[in-house]
Amino acid sequence: MLKRHLFSFLSFLLVFSLCFPAAGFAKGWDDPTKPGWGNGEKAKHGWIVSKMKHMTLEEKIGQLFIIHMYGQTPTDPAYEDTNLNNNRGAKNFKEAIERYHIGGVIYFNWTDNIGNPADVEQVNALSNGLQDVAMDQRMPIPLFISTDQEGGIVQRLTSPGTVFPGNMALGATRSPELAADSAGIIGNELGSLGINMNFAPVADVNVNPENPVIGVRSFGEDADLVSDLTVSQIEAYQDEKMIPSAKHFPGHGDTDVDSHYGLPIINHDLETLYNVDLKPFQAAIDAGVEAIMTAHIVVPALDDSGLPATLSKPILTDLLRDEMGFEGLIVTDSLGMSGANVVDPERVPVEAFKAGNDILLNPPDVEQAYNAMLEAVETGEISEERVDESVYRILKAKMEKGLFGEPNTDPEAVDNIGTEENLAKADEIADQSITLVKNEDDLLPLQDDRDVLITGPSAAKPGYLSEQLQAKGFNVSDYATDTSPTPDQIDGAAAEAENADIVVTATYTANTNDAQQQLVEAIQDTGKPVVVTAIRNPYDLMAFPEVEGYVTTYGDRDVSVEALARVLSGEVNPEGRLPVTIPDLYEYGHYLGYE
């Protein structure tokens, strides 16, 4: 397989190293007359142009799509009905590749491509099997195999992989080096599974405490910090031959609507947009990022049409492409999200492509989306020259990552996943991220001669935190509730608190959850000292500013809870700094340590 692919690649490269056509491509992007191009770049250009001359329109349209399919193998018979019933347009991966000539796939846990925990040998074999199918087609073109592995609350590969605390935790460390370390490990472990494209890092600047979709997925509220850590991660991904994708352009950080379920509006003026939202994306472009993902958000200052950025030519072509100088791949966010579906479903991919996207990600109905694009070209609504521009960029990205030479991944590469060294790095990041915000009467670190109750919603893992502290010799009990505690659960927690010397209340986005706020108030009413540990967003303190102690982790993964236990016990001196402002209470950069 290796020799066959390599021979094919080198043959094309040799033939077109000196002579190649340039007609049919818009001047100004990847033009052979581009200043600074040597014979190597010209040879690449000629090879891509030659490849495209042999592609049918159907094959070109297929390259524009990255889709999801259910299954653990290329022809998994257990998921045939599931795929057909969920508008995948085919019964399995193999059939989708053959029928639609797709450019790539995206892995999820819920599609059973990656289990939780993962069978790393299965994922590696799936990736290699998919590449074999793609390279056995009439026009052999390797696949983008993609996923979302941001770290923190958005991770598809969990155990036995290395689970990181997440981006806002990295923001709390203030360390570009740790940001790069985490991305390097993520890139290496994904690459071991045959994944070559990661929809990360998140370049959004989170300035809204009520943001329901970004929050701790952002590095923080300071555009310079977000820019620095974004660039660090991009460079680390590239070192691991991973294609990173900065997201969500032009910036999803100031919204109180989740674009999965609605259409957010960003009402920033132009000055704010350029100084805050767009700044990390410009830094990413300057660093050579290969892909940028769009946001399903309306930004009236950039486009007053009411269309989301994903469907906006002024935002994607005029701003991102022409003004900001981005020459790489523009990728839509998932086209199945509500924020994208503001026109007829069959028109969404067409309008997204006309706006300037190169890759149409995750259409909810594969056959409908493919046929709509094909019809738009056949009727002249979209020119084939415009299709060629995007296909050129796609093939160029695949070539530059070496996928045409050898798209497959050594099965033994999975031994790189979840090594002791990688796990130790995740622990180091978590330890440096935990932020002690408030500590009246030196309640922390906990004293081992006091009875401690840990309560809160199960999502905040009070039971796991209790286990960690018990293992360190503390006398701890726990009482878990629903994410929105019921009145009976609130009463039960208060009753348990009567028997404790101190209560640690773990919260999970409590600043927007009335029932959790009532739980904290009920614990306070017992007169017992209360330490709140915010397991996800750092803003929970806004709802109960009078609690005696407050610690925030920026994430709910076990690695963060374990680091929290080390801080609560005094084993680790907290050193994380707030990467956001807690409005009216604590400024950006605030932190406390143990004397």
Q: Which of 488, 481, 430 is nearest to 460 (CA)?
A: 481
Question: Of the listed 148, 181, 333, 556, which one is catalytic?
Answer: 333
- Terminal CA-to-CA distance of the chain, rounded, Å? 62
Q: Angle 223-239/279-286 helices, nearest 10 degrees?
A: 30
Which 3-state string (H, E, C) describes 363-395? CCCHHHHHHHHHHHHHCCCCCHHHHHHHHHHHH
Does 333 qualify as catalytic in the annotation?
A: yes
Where would I find the beta strands (DSSP E) of 7-156?
65-67, 104-106, 144-147, 149-151, 154-155
Q: Which residues contact 460 (CB under 8 A, 6 or more apart)?
A: 506, 507, 508, 533, 535, 536, 556
Q: Angle 462-471/558-569 helices, nearest 10 degrees?
A: 50
Per-residue pLDDT of the chain (595 residues; tens, 9 = 90+): 444 444 444 444 443 333 333 334 433 344 545 555 566 788 889 999 999 999 999 999 999 999 999 999 999 999 999 999 999 999 999 999 999 999 999 999 999 999 999 999 999 999 999 999 999 999 999 999 999 999 999 999 999 999 999 999 999 999 999 999 999 999 999 999 999 999 999 999 999 998 878 999 999 999 999 999 999 999 999 999 999 999 999 999 988 777 787 888 999 999 999 999 999 999 999 999 999 999 999 999 999 999 999 999 999 999 999 999 999 999 999 999 988 888 999 999 999 999 999 999 999 999 999 999 999 999 999 999 999 999 999 999 999 999 999 999 999 999 999 999 999 999 999 999 999 999 999 999 999 999 999 999 999 999 999 999 999 999 999 999 999 999 999 999 999 999 999 999 999 999 999 999 999 999 999 999 999 999 999 999 999 999 999 999 999 999 999 999 999 999 999 999 999 999 999 999 999 999 7
Identify whether the C-beta of residue 66 lies closer than 8 Å to the C-beta of residue 103.
Answer: yes
pTM over 0.85: yes
Whole-angstrom Cα distance, residue 589 to residue 575? 11
Give the β-pairing of 65-67 and 291-294.
unpaired
Whole-angstrom Cα distance, residue 311 to residue 355? 5
Topology (CATH) of 64-418:
TIM Barrel (3.20.20)
- CA dihedral (417, 226, 567, 547) in degrees, to 10, reads -140
Q: Which two tokens stand for residue 249?
A: 């352009």
Whole-angstrom Cα distance, residue 67 to residue 106? 6
The domain locations on the chain are 64-418, 434-569
Q: Which two tokens stand for residue 448?
A: 């081992």
CATH class of 434-569: alpha beta
Q: Which of 102, 145, 70 is nearest to 369 (CA)?
A: 102
